[in-house]
Amino acid sequence: MNLSRRDLLRLGGAALAGASLVPSVAPAQTPKRGGTLAIRTWDPPHFDPFQTISYKTHIALSFTHSRLLKHKAGPGVVPGTFPIEGDLAESWTQPSETTYVFKLRKGVRWHNKPPVNGRELTADDVVFSVNHFLTAKGNANAYMLRAVEKVEAFDRSTVKFTLKEPFVWFLDMLSNPHAVAIVAKEVLDKFGDFKKHETVIGTGPWMLDSYRPNVGLTFVRNPSYFLPGLPYIDRIEATVDEDNASRMAAFLSGKYDLGWEFPGTVNRVDWVQIKDTLKQKRSKLQTLEFPAPVMSHISMRTDQKPFNDVRVRHAMSLAIDRKAIIDAVFEGVGAMNPPVPAALREWSVPFDKLGDGAKYYKHDPAEAKRLLAAAGYPNGFPGTMCFTPYGSTILVDAMQLVQKDLKAVGIDVKIDQKEYGAYIATCFYGKFESMTFGPQTGFLEPDNFLFGQYYPEELKNQSHINDPVVADMLVRQRRTSDVAKRREIIYDIQRHLAKQQYYVQMPSGIYIAVWEGALKNYGPNMGYDYGGRLMAAWLDR
């Protein structure tokens, strides 16, 4: 399907475009065993999933570890949707609003490495992993399962969760690759934590064969994997490659089978430069485009002047020329975002259904000035904007445009640029004086975007919002199991938030997922679950 930039913009980023560099029709084929898949990766700070939120660690462990549930993968799954299926869980039931019972697969074995040496996984392992996830000191992801009151093993293959209150996103949280990787107690007893590469022992489709710090990781097929015949690919060679020119050259020469950027994509800026060369050198490459869930926004101290005045917040949003940002930093191809990014196509409210608040996403500097004057700031006001570049030219460019747009209506922003660590420790968690500009984690469901950022006293409530109307709706959506009704509540939340503009949302780019034509039965999607997406893929070369 060929879509112009204009088409993609018109579709508000919910569009998809998939293509091969040359037209090809793949007949149904029998999967082949064997082969080595080469990808670019990032050097993990360590391998303990309970001690870091780093994608570098979680991507590596997606090859080696299982979860109770997982997101379905493959060419049939539309990117931006995350249907749930069992991973270690064969089936599950929900006897009440606050109770979930999981039946584990039988015959699941740990990797054949000491100290577990291929023993069979039991319900106690799941109980141990969940409890460790909830209690491990420094686990920044623990909030995902904060609703869990207790987890118990009924027998060797049955696990029961009891929640403190209804939490309809519970299964989504268990499926999320950020959440509980199932680990063995013996490993913790032997090593004290899971940081060393020797502790990478799971029940996943591949086993860590070698780890070369700052060089790469090699994964080999787990011969005892619980799904018969899977995985098809024998070996995954993951290379740490920190220089973009080097990565681009390597990709052009055919070294990598997936796009070198997260999650198996190529940045559009680079893509525009190399696509013609690729047509000649790697004509069988496949591509698929879908909006990225990573969205930047301006957060501000809405508990203080001048941002406690809704007219000021409206003015700020109206000052931003989002189309110019898309043109300048996303090569003209981007997605406008309401409070839930357009990438989450099942939950993001379309702009034509956003209601009155939709008008604040337009660029209208004259109206912005009028609103500022009405709020008592006819000459605008000065402010600081906390920022860290994340090593990204795109982000730096977007920030400059935001600063220029705000200046044009009289808001004179001084950039308070911080080192990444300092930024995460302060501004990312709302510790700033005036404003902050930066990207947010690309979550895979709306609750993380909404509850975390808008519920009073939440860590990531950067704008210090205390809005009883929003808080009530946020709690209600967490208790509404009917998906259609929940979607309507989430749409209502976004409509309310669009009128309040507690955060000024920026557009997102459109990912270009790229993969080698010889890689069959692969479907790109967002998220860290590289292993899950490759588990049933196979190589035809």
Partner 1 sequence: MAEPSAAVQGASSGAQALRGVGRFCRRKPLGALGAFIVIALLVMAVFAEQLAPYGYDETVRGSRMKPPSAAHWLGTDNLSRDMWSRIVFGARVSVTVGVATVGLAVFLATAVGVSSGYFGGAYDLVVQRVVDAWLSFPYLVIVLSVMAVLGPGLLNVVLSLAVLIAAVNSRVIRGATIAVAQSTYVEAARALGCGHARIILWHILPNVAATVIILATIGLGTAILAESALSFLGFGVPPPYPAWGAMLSGSGRTYMFRAPWMAIWPGVAISLAVFGFNMLGDALRDLLDPRLRGLAR
Nearer residue to partner 1 within complex by CB, 168 or 401: 401
Nearer residue to partner 1 within complex by CB, 101 or 328: 328
Amino acid code (one letter) for 477: Q
DSSP code for 105: P
Least Å from the CB of residue 218 to partner 1: 28
Q: What Rg value do the Cα atoms of the chain yield, rounded?
A: 24
**What secondary structure does DSSP assign to 55-99, as a single string?**
HHHHHHHHHH---SEEE--STTSPTT---EEESSEEEEEEEETTE
Nearer residue to partner 1 within complex by CB, 235 or 282: 282
Nearer residue to partner 1 within complex by CB, 135 or 393: 393
Least Å from the CB of residue 244 to partner 1: 8
Dihedral sign, CA of 185, 190, 196, 197?
negative
Nearer residue to partner 1 within complex by CB, 236 or 394: 394
Contact between 25 and 284 (Cβ < 8 Å):
no
Nearer residue to partner 1 within complex by CB, 404 or 541: 404
Nearer residue to partner 1 within complex by CB, 29 or 393: 393
Least Å from the CB of residue 268 to partner 1: 11
Nearer residue to partner 1 within complex by CB, 24 or 400: 400
Contact between 259 and 511 (Cβ < 8 Å):
no
Least Å from the CB of residue 533 to partner 1: 28
Least Å from the CB of residue 415 to partner 1: 4
Cα 448 to chain centroid, rounded? 10
Least Å from the CB of residue 333 to partner 1: 14
Instruction: Say how far apart CA 35 and CA 33 lie, in whole Å.
Output: 7
Nearer residue to partner 1 within complex by CB, 356 or 419: 419
Which token pair is 51? 């001690």
Least Å from the CB of residue 471 to partner 1: 35
137: which residues sit within 8 A by CB, 6+ positions away? none
Nearer residue to partner 1 within complex by CB, 36 or 392: 392
Least Å from the CB of residue 435 to partner 1: 14
Instruction: Say how far apart CA 157 and CA 124 lie, in whole Å.
Output: 9
Which token pair is 502? 């507690």
Least Å from the CB of residue 196 to partner 1: 24
Least Å from the CB of residue 251 to partner 1: 14
Amino acid code (one letter) for 239: T
Q: Is 215 exposed, middle or buried (0-12, 13-18, 19+ CB in 10 A)?
A: exposed
Dihedral sign, CA of 254, 257, 259, 260?
negative
Least Å from the CB of residue 3 to partner 1: 21
Instruction: Say how far apart CA 274 and CA 276 lie, in whole Å.
Output: 6
Least Å from the CB of residue 433 to partner 1: 14
Instruction: Say how far apart CA 441 and CA 447 lie, in whole Å.
Output: 12
Which token pair is 447? 């609750």
Cα of first residue to Cα of last residue in the chain, in angstroms, is 26
Contact between 335 and 342 (Cβ < 8 Å):
yes
Nearer residue to partner 1 within complex by CB, 151 or 401: 401
Nearest C-alpha neighbor of 40 from the set 202, 266, 228? 266
Q: Which residues of this protein are in contact with partner 1, per CB under 8 A?
A: 245, 269, 272-273, 327-329, 387-389, 391, 393, 396-397, 399-401, 403-404, 415, 417-422
**What secondary structure does DSSP assign to 339-377, as a single string?**
SS-TTSTTTSPPGGGSGGGGGGGS--HHHHHHHHHHTT-
Nearer residue to partner 1 within complex by CB, 289 or 416: 416
Nearest C-alpha neighbor of 337 from the set 526, 524, 504? 504
